Amino acid sequence: MRKELAFEDPVVAVDRGEAEPALVVDVDGFAGPLDLLLELARRQKVDLHKISVLALAEQYLGFIEAARSFRLELAADYLVMAAWLAYLKSRLLLPEPAKGDEPPAEELAQRLAFRLRRLEAVREAAKKLYDRPQLGRDVFGRGAPEPVRIDRKRDWDASLYDLLKAYAEQRQTKALSRVSFAKRFVWSLAEARDALDRLVGGGLDWTVLDDYLMAFVVDPAQRATVRASAFSATLEMVREGLIDLRQDGAFTPIFVRPRRPDIEEGASSA
Amino acid sequence: MKRSAEQRNMSDPSVFREGCRIVEALLFASADPLSGEELASRLPRDVHIADILARLREDYADRGVTLVEVAGRWTFRTSEDLSYLLAREAQETRKLSRAALETLAVIAYHQPVTRAEIEDIRGVSTHRGTLDSLMETGWIRLRGRRRTPGRPVTYGTTDAFLVHFGLTVVDDLPGLDELKGAGFLDGRLPPGFSVPVPSDDPSLREDEDPLEEDLFTRLAEEKASEVEEPLSDGEDA
Amino acid sequence: MKRSAEQRNMSDPSVFREGCRIVEALLFASADPLSGEELASRLPRDVHIADILARLREDYADRGVTLVEVAGRWTFRTSEDLSYLLAREAQETRKLSRAALETLAVIAYHQPVTRAEIEDIRGVSTHRGTLDSLMETGWIRLRGRRRTPGRPVTYGTTDAFLVHFGLTVVDDLPGLDELKGAGFLDGRLPPGFSVPVPSDDPSLREDEDPLEEDLFTRLAEEKASEVEEPLSDGEDA
């Protein structure tokens, strides 16, 4: 409870003289209403089993009344308990209704008495627990424990297979990375012109240019350079009036034939 | 039993003696109590750890340090009767408040127990700080959630609690029999239906659910909602 | 001496026994060794600490812990012959890095080999850490110094290398044909590609000098100069 709850006379209950009937209570010393009730019950100086709950309720209500007359603010749980005890008191004093939904007043009283006994028992247990030899207070462990030294032994995981694979792979990679620049093959325009001149000399009719050129291609990789140089050469030869070129559509084969004066008209009509 | 133990180990007394020395050394050196299994793993195969522990217990019974069993493990401790001399060695242990001690006792004797049940027994609302400071000692832990409306967290004690108070098992709690006999361990009234006993068995009870993985979120929620929590009115609702 | 000690303490044997228990407990619980004076200050006046220490020393002579004097102070220590109990071996399996494995393989096949040669063969620069970790495995060793400008250290493999990889001798490492046969190397190899026949003969080669006695100085030098070492560009220069 709060500081402002302290009574003028801060005498703790246990200091009270044997014969002193006055209720002198240090509210600060109580841990809640049940604790206060337990203290009040102890003052009945009877076994908690034989406690008069009615008397207890009256004492508690008297305490609350006294506290109020001092204009002390009481925490809500004290007031709730007071209300409940006032209710219990009236139930205990009045004759029991024949049949009620509520449990009989006697049972309510016994429940309260039970809770008080239980709280007291738990407190005793707590004290017994506290009185046990506690580590670091009454008994001590080894002050200088000797730590277990952990020798970390590293085991490296590598198999012969890993080793050989690593060796072979790097040697192979390295060996193959020694690139030599292969000389690039280029079919020169002169070579193309020579080849096409032979075509003209052969006196063939329309010929697919690619089919004709393939005869000169040694390596498929040379196809591009052969085609490029040959096409350039054919354009030159058309300009010179040596051959006719014909293509029927995009990406269709290019036809080529030697130009001959006798079929000039036909060619121009194509 | 005693004879058979001797018989078991008579085969080679020097092996038994060496076993005693090994266990003695391990227990002296260790900062924490050691289990019988841990000790046995360092012993020659034909030596029985139980016999060795019994022998050492006897050897040290009258000495300044004694062999004790705490939380099911073994350790040496200075003898209880010498505590008056060693008080000077005592490190400044934080003194628990009366409320904290009482709460600890309620948790120990009634575990697994919820905060509402603690409050019912103590007749007063529990300050968050009380449970926090107990958690800080490492003597109590959150066990799970009670399968009741609101799914309140259940509390229980830890091995560190047993070690600190020199208890082998939670059944050794002082005054437990009296509490049990009077039916005080049954939180719910009326008494006499069943007499539960405290259990710090890590496996959850039938009416306990595991804590969520995301415990911290829950704890934060709980802490946030704590202000609204109605004060215990000191009477069962 | 012994008799006088007994005489001194015979007056009350129970006081002497209690003194022993006290000293025992104090020494057990103390974090640091305690001097005779510190111990004596906790004893009944008529008990002589020297006698107690002598007695305890005797009591513990054959036990798993013994009473020892260090720097004029007293403490219990695990008996020396049991110190092995306090060491635990932790096996830790680590995988060798790819770079380390490759470097190891080059050293195995091409030994004795210098770092520059390793880099030339691998086509990449070698991190110091790679060689360090290989040294840690115990599988490679410094053999000597190559009789070339800069006198670089030569590396070779050890017996531990053979043991780990299950080789009887280092020439058991497969040669070119075997590597091909086992599919480690494929057919795309330039003419003249060869795999050396490894030899870990401990005797130095003609072009090797022994390592200096003061190896550490040299190693330090090597480490210091390492920054300037030109990185191999991965292409033969």
Whole-angstrom distance, CA of residue B122 vs CA of residue B116: 10
Judge if C116 and C215 occupy the same domain.
yes
Stretch 135-174 of chain C: residues touching chain A, C-beta under 8 Å? 136-137, 139, 164-167, 173-174
Domain end position, chosen among C53, C86, C119: C86
What is the percentage of chain A residues whose pLDDT exceeds 90?
3
Determine, yes or no, domain membership for B236.
no
Residue listed under structure tokens 């046995």: B40
User: Using the beta-carbon criterion (under 8 Å), do C42 and B85 form an inter-chain contact?
Assistant: yes
**Which residue numbers in chain B have pLDDT < 50?**
1-3, 188-195, 215-216, 224-237
String of DSSP letters for chain A: --GGG--SS---GGGS-TT--S----GGG-SSHHHHHHHHHHHTTS-GGG--HHHHHHHHHHHHHHHHHTT----HHHHHHHHHHHHHHHHHHSPPPSS-SSPPHHHHHHHHHHHHHHHHHHHHHHHHHHHSPPBTTTB---SS--PPEEEEEEEEE--HHHHHHHHHHHHHHHHHT----PPPP---HHHHHHHHHHHHHHT-SSEEHHHHHHTT-SSGGGHHHHHHHHHHHHHHHHHTTSEEEEESSTTSPEEEEE--GGGHHHHHH-
Q: Looking at A71-80, C167-176, C213-222, which range is the least confident one?
A: C213-222
ipTM over 0.90: no
> What pLDDT, on a 0 to 100 scale, did the predictor assign at position C1?
45
Cβ distance of B86 and C20 shorter than 8 Å: no
pLDDT tens for each residue of A91-134: 888 876 666 667 788 888 888 888 888 999 999 999 999 998 88
Bridging pattern class, strands A149-157 and C87-95: parallel
Reported as a pLDDT band with limits 50, 70 and 90, residue C171 is confident
Q: Are B209 and B144 in contact (CB under 8 A)?
A: yes
Q: How far apart are the first and last CA of chain A?
A: 118
How far from C231 is each of B188, C115, C148, CA to CA, in Å? 81, 12, 19
Domain end residue (candidates: C46, C64, C86):
C86
Is residue C222 a part of any domain in this protein? yes
Are residues C46 and C123 both part of a single domain? no
Supply the pLDDT for residue A14: 37
CATH number, residue C43: 1.10.10.10
Same domain, residue pair B14 and B53 = yes
Domain ends where: C52, C86, C120? C86
Q: What is the mean pLDDT of residues A9-16?
A: 37
How far is residue A255's CA from residue A246's CA, in Å, rounded to a whole number? 5
On chain A, the residues whose CB falls within 8 A of the CB of C25 are 140
What are the tokens at B123? Answer: 């007749």
Q: At which residue do the structure tokens 């620069």 appear?
A: C125
Mean residue pLDDT across chain C: 81
Distance CA(B210)–CA(B221), nearest Å, equals 17
Asked whether residue C121 is domain-assigned, the answer is: yes
Specify whether B128 is located in the same domain as B191. yes
Helix (H, G, I), strand (E, B) or coil at C136: helix
Lowest mean pLDDT: which of A139-143, A155-159, B48-52, C103-107?
Answer: A155-159
Q: Which helix (H) or strand (E) holds C144?
A: strand C140-146
pLDDT in tens, A33-58: 888 888 888 887 767 777 788 888 99
CA–CA dist C221, C215 (Å, integer) = 10
- Provide the sign of the torsion angle of the four alpha carbons B112, B114, B117, B118, taken in this order: positive
**Full-model pTM:** 0.58
How is B134-166 classified by DSSP, letter by letter?
HHHHTSEEEEEEESSTT-PEEEEE-HHHHHHTT
Number of structural domains, chain C?
Answer: 2
Same domain? B132 vs B190: yes
Q: CA A35, A37, A40 angle in degrees (round to 5)?
A: 115
Same domain for C220 and C103?
yes
Q: Do C88 and A169 count as a contact with CB atoms less than 8 A apart?
A: no
CA distance C2 to chain B (A): 22
Is residue C236 a part of any domain in this protein?
Answer: no
B126 and B31 both lie in a single domain: no
The answer to whether B76 contacts C28, with C-beta atoms less than 8 Å apart, is yes
Calpha distance B191→B112 (Å, rounded): 18
Return the partners of chain B (3 or more C-beta pairs < 8 Å): A, C
Minimal Cβ distance to B25: which of C21, C22, C85: C85
pLDDT of residue A71: 67
For residue C207, give the amino acid letter.
Answer: D
Contacting residues for B88 by C-beta, under 8 A, at least 6 apart: none
Let me know whether C120 and C55 are in one domain: no
Question: B76 and B113: one domain?
Answer: no
Q: How far is CA B120 from CA B134, B192, B199, B219, in A?
A: 19, 18, 19, 22
Q: How many helices (H) and strands (E) does chain C have?
A: 10, 8
Q: Is the dihedral of CA B30, B32, B35, B38 positive or negative?
A: negative
Q: CA-CA distance, A34 to A66, in Å (whole number)?
A: 18
Taking the Cβ of residue C237 and every Cβ of chain A, the question of whether any pair is shorter than 8 Å is answered with no
**Least confident piece of the model among B61-70, C132-141, C172-181, C204-213:** C204-213
Residues C77 and C140 in one domain: no
Mean pLDDT of C190-215: 78
Domain region containing B70: 8-86
Q: Are residues C112 and C60 in the same domain?
A: no
C112 lies in the same domain as C146: yes
Residue type at position B188: R
Which neighbouring-strand residues pair with B144? B154
Q: Is B64 within 8 Å of C21 when comparing Cβ atoms? A: yes
Confidence at C160, pLDDT banded by 50, 70, 90: confident
Per-residue confidence band for A265, with pLDDT thresholds at 50, 70 and 90 = very low
Residue whose tokens read 């599919």: C183
CB contact under 8 A, B101 and A142: no
Q: Assign A188 a pLDDT band (cuts: 50, 70, 90).
A: confident
Q: Tell the residue number behind the tokens 């200075």, with chain if given.
A: B78
**Contact of A51 with A44, CB cutoff 8 Å:** yes
Question: With contact defined as beta carbons under 8 Å apart, do B152 and B114 qualify?
Answer: yes
Give the span between the Cα atoms of C83 and C77, in whole angstroms: 9
Confidence tier at C50 by pLDDT (50, 70, 90): very high
Residue C20 pLDDT > 70, yes or no?
yes
The reply to whether B41 falls in a domain is yes
In a domain, C235, yes or no: no
